[in-house]
Structure 1
Amino acid sequence: MSNWVEIRDSLLEAMQIEKVGRELKNEFIVWLSKEGIEFAQAFADEVNKECKEDAPKEKGWCKIRDAFVLPVALNIGMYILKMVLTKSLEEKTA
């Protein structure tokens, strides 16, 4: 083996990368469920507000897009994100 492979393997073993990976994932899920979801919800609310304001001014497909498609897609996406994070937190605490 080359020196690089030996050095890399010894570093990975010393860092206990699996333990660090699990802890990092758990911390990220907790952060995302507390702070990240607030940011995502604020973004979705702002886009929905803009779409509601623009929908009456639009015509054809753009009116349908602003009145229904984008708001529904954002709301469903937020619901799924919240559900997945909730399940992830439940799994973590169980």
Structure 2
Amino acid sequence: MSKWTEVRDGLVAALDVKEVTESAKEKMLAGLATDGMDAMSEVADKFVEQVQAQASEETGWCAIRDRFVLPLLVNGTLWAIKLVLAKSATAENR
């Protein structure tokens, strides 16, 4: 058996969860909504900044893509993720 297979099998065994409690789900959502979104937002902001800076060197479709399309897709996706996490975190939405 290869080393990768042993590592993979070890990870699968370590992550084998028998029961997921409500508090575990709430902690996971809270962590994603705060620290997870902060990290994703930082990465997205850097990406958008660099892509928009490169747009001045592009022409035609590539300029439109870099200046508008990619930043809108990235920011729109982050907004949707934040919305879903916020809606999922409230107990009234069950």
Which TM-score applies when normalising by structure 1? 0.71
Q: Which runs of 5+ in 2 are unaligned?
A: 1-16
Structure 1 gap segments, 5+ residues each: 1-14
Select the structure that is richer in helix: 1
Deviations 1:6-50 (CA, angstroms, capped at 9, x unpaired):
xxxxxxxxx862xx2543322211110110000111111111100
Instruction: Tell me which residue corresponds to 1:55.
Output: 55
Alignment of 1:1-94 (within 5 A): 17=19, 20-91=20-91
Q: Deviations over 1:39-79 (max 9, x none)?
A: 11111111110011100101122111101110000111111
Identity of aligned residues (%): 31
RMSD: 2.3
Q: Which runs of 4+ in 1 moved over 4 A?
A: none
Q: How many residue pairs get matched?
A: 78
Relative to structure 1, the CA distance from residue 52 to residue 16 in structure 2 (aligned partners, 3 Å threshold; closer, same or farther) is closer
